[in-house]
Amino acid sequence: MDLLDAMRTTPATRAFTDDDIPDEVVYEILDAARFAPNGGNRQAWKVVIVRDPAVKEEIARLYDLGAREYSAHAQAGLVPFSAGEAHWRTEPAVDLEAARQTPTTMSSRHIATAPVLVVILLDLDRCSAVDSGLDRLSISAGASVYPFAHNILLAARSRGFGGHFTSVLARQEHALRTLLNIPENVALATMLPLGKPEKELSKLKRAPVEEFTTVGTYDGPAFTK
């Protein structure tokens, strides 16, 4: 598949067939993904492959708790866990305890049943957050791991498999830490359930270039063809 086509047509896949994704293919995918750019080339990512049904079930349960918190924000008309507020907000914007008791329409079943869960971690002692201390949320450490995670989705697609990022699992990072023996200095970046897509979805909705690109300054004219 042409690289530009792959970039334009790799969706978030949340429904899988019963087909397995063999370990050889998972290895091949990781073997390609590891060439991702990352700060200082320190490659501070770490990956845990989960296939045990009981562990997948527990991760799905933790994911569901995170999804409930996320949905409660969305239902209140808020950007869930808005990054713009993260630096100063000390009290949650919604009642998280109540949210965790309230079922959500965001399904977690495909996480329990996906053939493999790829848990992507970042060793915080080995990567830089060069935008720290700027009186806003630091975001740059994530740049040392998310290109790697996206490469996994692209490589999976090239082999007929799919998956999606799962940031809401981060809400239960402490429980995941215990479940998978993750050390304190290592953070959950994301988790990708991978499997054979039930349907081939490849038409993605995104804003056109002119909507998010300007020339010269932030408020400059739109960059057009």
Instruction: Give the amino acid at 125.
Output: D
Among 54, 22, 10, 27, smallest CA distance to 163 is for: 10
Q: Confirm if 204 and 7 have CB atoms less than 8 A apart.
A: no
Report if residue 115 touches ligand FMN, rule: CB under 6 A. no
Q: Of the two residues 43 and 167, which places its CB atom closer to ligand FMN in the complex?
A: 167
Other beta carbons less than 10 A from residue 67's beta carbon: 25
Site string for ligand FMN, 9-38 (x = CB under 6 A): --xx-x------------------------
| CA–CA distance, 61 with 71 (Å, rounded to integer) | 15
Binding residues for ligand FMN, how many (CB under 6 A)?
10
Tokens (6 digits) for 94 = 């919604």
202 lies in the site for ligand FMN, by CB under 6 A: no
204 contacts ligand FMN (rule: CB under 6 A):
yes
Query: In terms of CB distance, is 205 or 225 closer to ligand FMN?
Result: 205
Among positions 110, 157, 164, 171, the unique one binding ligand FMN when judged by CB under 6 A: 164
User: What string of DSSP letters covers 104-124?
Assistant: -SS--HHHHHSSEEEEEEEEG
Query: Quick one: 80 or 115, whose CB is closer to ligand FMN?
Result: 80
Residues that bind ligand FMN (CB under 6 A): 11-12, 14, 164-168, 204-205
